[in-house]
Amino acid sequence: MERLIFICFAVFRAGVVVQMVGSTVWLAFESDLPAGSAAMCFAAAAWSVLLFAHVWRRGSFADCSTWWCAADVGVGLAALVSAVLTLPAPLLVGTWHAWAYAYTAVVAPSVAAWAQPGLRSVGLAGGLAAAYVITVLPPNT
């Protein structure tokens, strides 16, 4: 059962990572994509590959250190912050320039798998949700 959960989360994350990397490469050639946004996109993609390779070797999310979960949430938060700091407001909603929101949406479900039921999962997911909402509220968008 744990492998099935891992595979589901990996497929969800891979789907978003493929889209965000593909759109970032395309946008870099077609428009003035800020370098900071592109760098954060490739860092988040590399992190995802490293993370899921580690979980696969360990056998399950629960068998990994909580620090891996905290780092995963940290990368999601860094992606949100980089989007707000590097992109002009009109590009923050409704475009793949703002890939960070889709990335964060696939980080959130894995928090429950990492932290197991309890206050840690509520705290981590709540912090991620709060950052998501804060970055999409005016005057950020």
Q: Where are the beta strands (DSSP E) in 1-135?
A: none
Let me know how many helices (H) and strands (E) the chain has, helices first.
Answer: 5, 0
Please tell me the distance from the alpha carbon of residue 27 to that of residue 38, in angstroms, as a whole number.
9
| pLDDT string in tens for the chain (141-residue length) | 678 888 888 999 999 999 999 999 988 887 777 888 899 999 999 999 999 999 999 888 888 888 888 899 899 999 988 988 888 888 877 888 888 989 998 888 887 777 666 667 777 778 878 888 887 776 655
pLDDT of the residue at 27: 85
pTM confidence score: 0.85
